[in-house]
Amino acid sequence: YLIAAAATGGRIKMRDVVPAHLEAVLAKLREAGADIEVGEDFITLDMQGRRPRAVSLVTAPYPAFPTDLQAQILAMNTVAEGTATVKETIFENRFMHVHEMNRMGARIRLEGNNTTAIVEGVEKLKAAPVMANDLRASVSLVIAGLLAEGDTIVDRIYHIDRGYEQVEEKLRTLGANIERIQSR
């Protein structure tokens, strides 16, 4: 949710969190331009309506940047100012969402035997029907949909349900225009 807020230029306060567990993520969000306040059990992030700056990263085991959030940062980078390099070192085939984001107008190319993504930020993404391939990719496509002009339909959202309970309701309470629809 922090990354979604940063990507959309928004503001969020997360409660009942352990900020120390998210130090690598918070460092990248600060690098993207987020104003972040950390308390004992909360994190406040505020982009003040600004477009994020592109952030490069390399995934690695904790306490480094987590592979499970790589796709979400990639979504943020699609509309960021500048160019970023995202290198995946933990798992193979972790860039299955790239083709779908490119269908939305993102400018992402894969290099290094598909272990590295080069992302050139664009002003806006365009709505397109996209298909989720796994849990991480599905939530990154939801973030991309929030960034797009028009209505984006994310198919195969059962992947999202495995890891994000009622994600559309939570995003709606944060101001997102999102709804779950029956597939046709």
All structural domains of the chain: 2-173 (3.65.10.10)
Strand partners, 99: none
- Model confidence pLDDT, tens digit, residues 134-160: 888 899 999 999 999 999 999 998 888
Residue with tokens 């400018």: 107
Residue 129 CA to residue 29 CA, distance in Å, equals 28
pLDDT recorded at residue 183 = 75
Q: How far apart are CA 77 and CA 51, in angstroms?
A: 10
Give the strand pairing for 35-38 and 11-15: unpaired
Q: What is the pLDDT of residues 48-84, one digit of tens each?
A: 999 999 999 999 999 999 999 999 999 999 999 999 9
Q: Are 143 and 4 in contact (CB under 8 A)?
A: yes
95 has a pLDDT exceeding 90? yes
Higher pLDDT, 75 or 181: 75
Name the 3-class secondary structure at 48: coil
Q: Assign 184 a pLDDT band (cuts: 50, 70, 90).
A: low
Average pLDDT over residues 176-181: 91
Distance of CA 36 to the CA centre of its chain: 17
Place of tokens 């101001």: 175
**Inter-helix orientation angle 70-77/135-147, to 10°:** 20
Burial (CB count within 10 angstroms: exposed 0-12, middle 13-18, buried 19+), residue 85: middle
CB 77 within 8 A of CB 102: no
How do strand 153-155 and strand 129-131 relate by DSSP bridges? parallel
